[in-house]
A and B are shown apart, each in its own frame.
Chain A
Amino acid sequence: AQSVTQLGSHVSVSEGALVLLRCNYSSSVPPYLFWYVQYPNQGLQLLLKYTTGATLVKGINGFEAEFKKSETSFHLTKPSAHMSDAAEYFCAVSDRVGGATNKLIFGTGTLLAVQP
């Protein structure tokens, strides 16, 4: 069965520092992988996705993630944090077992705090 693990429910970085949010997945079939961001009192917004092709994917707001099959990982990075990056981030994997439902399985989220 597919699953997602996000290491670290809370991450704090200084403004201008590297952001690294970790995501590991388990999937019996080639996965599609997603990162979503949730700002306070809002819905989730897609940051980036990996389906096929290039394993380094770039998203909005300067974020990128690399699909590493050997490590079953899809970590999210940003070279320089900005105060506006403070939000909760969710990793998700496609649930491709059981027919064409297009379901996603979400991790429990990582709350990113950015210190001035």
Chain B
Amino acid sequence: NAGVTQTPKFRVLKTGQSMTLLCAQDMNHEYMYWYRQDPGMGLRLIHYSVGEGTTAKGEVPDGYNVSRLKKQNFLLGLESAAPSQTSVYFCAGGQTYEQYFGPGTRLTVT
């Protein structure tokens, strides 16, 4: 099993550009999460999903959108990237409170 995978691993965007980050899991997790990690701030929840077809806002949802059309995939979109969205993004999945993390996507917005 690959577990939780994220695509791409690195990306550089210019301000105003859009992109989609893909998270895929082969562990049949019901719950999936998108976090951003910034120095000194730990992990902050952006959006999450409690099942296929559902999404909900987390702690820092502004500027992001998500979709969960298939149970195994959770997409994070940036419609108009801003320098404040420079961060490392982690996806996680789980069936209980225990979460399994992907390797991360390092995004730089210039």
What is the interface of chain A, defined by CB distance below 8 A to chain B?
9, 32, 34, 36, 41-46, 49, 51, 90, 94, 100-104, 106-109
Q: With contacts A46-B98, A103-B58 known, what are 18 further pairs, Cβ within 8 A?
A: A32-B97, A34-B97, A43-B102, A43-B104, A44-B43, A44-B90, A44-B99, A100-B50, A101-B31, A102-B50, A103-B45, A103-B48, A104-B97, A107-B42, A108-B40, A108-B41, A108-B42, A109-B42
Q: Which residues of A contact B74 (CB under 8 A)?
A: none
Rounded to whole Å, the gap between the CB of A96 and the closest CB of chain B is 8
Given contacts A90-B42, A103-B48, contact A45 B101 (CB under 8 A): yes
CA distance A94 to B104 in the complex (A): 22
Max count, chain B CB within 10 A of own CB: residue among A41, A42, A102, A104: A102
Q: Which A-chain residue is minimally distant from B104 (CB atoms)?
A: A43
Q: Does B103 contact A (CB under 8 A)?
A: yes
Query: A102 contacts B97, CB within 8 Å?
Result: yes
Minimal beta-carbon separation of B1 from chain A (angstroms): 15
Give the interface residue-count category, chain B. Answer: 20 to 34
Query: Would you call A104 and B101 a contact (CB within 8 A)?
Result: no
Smallest distance from the beta carbon of B25 to chain A beta carbons, Å? 12
Instruction: Return 15 A-B CB contacts under 8 Å, by A number.
Output: A42-B103, A42-B104, A43-B90, A43-B104, A44-B43, A49-B97, A49-B98, A101-B50, A101-B56, A102-B31, A102-B50, A102-B94, A102-B96, A108-B41, A109-B40
Which residues 12-43 of B sit at the A interface, judged by CB distance below 8 A?
31, 33, 40-43
Bound state CA distance, A17 and B81, in angstroms?
45
Residues in chain B near residue A101, CB distance under 8 A: 31, 48, 50, 56
Q: Which residues of B contact A32 (CB under 8 A)?
A: 97
Inter-chain CA distance A101–B50, complex, in Å, is 6
